[in-house]
Amino acid sequence: MTDLDAWTDLYRDLHQHPELSFQEERTASLVAEALRGAGFQVETGVGRTGVVGVLRNGDGPTVLVRADMDALPVTERTGLPYTSTVDGVAHACGHDLHVTCLLAACEELAGSPSTWSGTLLAVFQPAEEVGAGAQAMIDDGLYERHGTPTVVLGQHVVPMPAGTIGLHAGASFAAADSLKITLHGAGGHGSSPHAAVDPIVLAAATVLRLQTVVSRETAPSDFAVVTVGRIDGGTKANIIPDSARIEVNVRTYEPRVRTRVLAAIERIVEGEAATSGAPQPPDVDHFESLPAVMNDAAACEATKPALSSTGALVIDPGGVPGSEDVGLFATAAECPCVYWLLGGADPAEFAGLTTIDEIAERVASLPTNHSPFYAPVPSPTIDLGIKALVAAARHWLPAAG
């Protein structure tokens, strides 16, 4: 059995045993054991279930390479022979692949100490899916105990063709903000709306007006998404309730756009309530807030040849509207971030396609991350994912002399 077969077995094992955010106990213990076996100094329980592996190999910079470990509350429907064995939980985002590739890269770097110099800081973070794991590890003293990195590296598998790597300088993952908004009315009998203030109508008007934040207030050249993902209120057809609730999710790349969109939402929500004659202004609970992942342009340019050296085709796919908390490691260290997309879709899906447009259209038709059908192909994805991490880490940890 080759090393790659063994890593593919580990991938299948992780895939069969997914664990939700901050519950990555089994995964963490597998990770810790593998890191110890490769000669790393290991700390577990960092930011609750995170694992840190440190390998000091002479003078040089400290390079943080990150993988996330958590799965999603999704019922897998891939039909794979190594499908999830846990009811209602699946590695539908591919974090099992991230863990596998980083462990393999750690072992390879540990086994080739003459090819690099410095400190390798392998970070296996919990709870990326709830946007809390990176901050939890930082708050737990990750850098105080293990040193502050000079660069943060990592990758995310996506349904681009396996054999391609996506690298975008600037905002590569969007900022995400979520708001819980309670709209207050005055309840009453359904037959007497004149004696009430109907929060259902207020909610409906607010939801429609919120659509104008992007269509009428955001420049066509700026990226923003405003989605009302939840609306609820009332109990029965003939009762006007006291209040209604909506939940709004916002995605942006640029901080100035984010500030503007959030202010517009607040203004519209308050304005619609006032127009309805609401007895009190709405309560706005800004319960989720994750900044964009800002890839450093110079660091991306410097890392690109290393990524190309794997044999993968490195392309610039632009920013991704999804969100990620990997950027927090770089922000806390005040160092550059280089986070790339690893193609994981079966190359057979792209047979006969030649133009970028045809390929992009096929990518858009494939199950995305978080879908119950999402399933990256282990080969050649794992092999390239390992090579990409090793090559990028070696670039930032040049051998002495």
Q: What's the Cα-to-Cα distance from 137 to each of 127, 129, 245, rounded to whole Å?
A: 10, 15, 33
Contact 249, 229 (CB under 8 A): yes
Instruction: Using the rule CB under 5 A, give the single segment among 74-82, 92-100, 110-118, 223-231 that binds Zn ion.
Output: 92-100
Q: Which is nearer to Zn ion, 161 or 344 (CB)?
A: 344
Q: Does 342 bind Zn ion (CB under 5 A)?
A: no
Q: What's the Cα-to-Cα distance from 54 to each of 36, 107, 202, 302, 377, rounded to whole Å?
A: 10, 12, 55, 24, 30
Q: Which is nearer to Zn ion, 60 or 166 (CB)?
A: 166
Q: Which is nearer to Zn ion, 54 or 132 (CB)?
A: 132
d(CA 274, CA 341): 45
Q: Which is nearer to Zn ion, 92 or 244 (CB)?
A: 92
- 276: Cα within 13 Å, side-chain hemisphere: 28
Residue partners of 41: CB distance under 8 A and separation at least 6: 53, 54, 55, 56
Beta-bridged to residue 171, according to DSSP, are 294
Q: How far is the CB of 385 from Zn ion (least distance, A)?
A: 14
Say whether 318 sits in a helix, a strand or coil. Answer: coil
Residue number with the smallest Cβ distance to Zn ion: 93
Instruction: Using the rule CB under 5 A, give the single segment among 90-98, 147-155, 307-315, 336-344 that binds Zn ion.
Output: 90-98
Q: Does 99 bind Zn ion (CB under 5 A)?
A: no
Q: How far is the CB of 49 from Zn ion (least distance, A)?
A: 16
Per the structure block, which two tokens stand in for 214? 């992007």
Closest C-alpha among 200, 182, 362 to residue 280: 182
Q: Does 93 bind Zn ion (CB under 5 A)?
A: yes
Q: How far is the CB of 139 from Zn ion (least distance, A)?
A: 21
The binding track of 269-308 with respect to Zn ion, each residue x by CB under 5 A or -, is ----------------------------------------
Instruction: Using the rule CB under 5 A, give the single segment among 87-95, 108-116, 117-125, 137-145 that binds Zn ion.
Output: 87-95
Per the structure block, which two tokens stand in for 360? 């992009």
Residues that bind Zn ion (CB under 5 A): 93
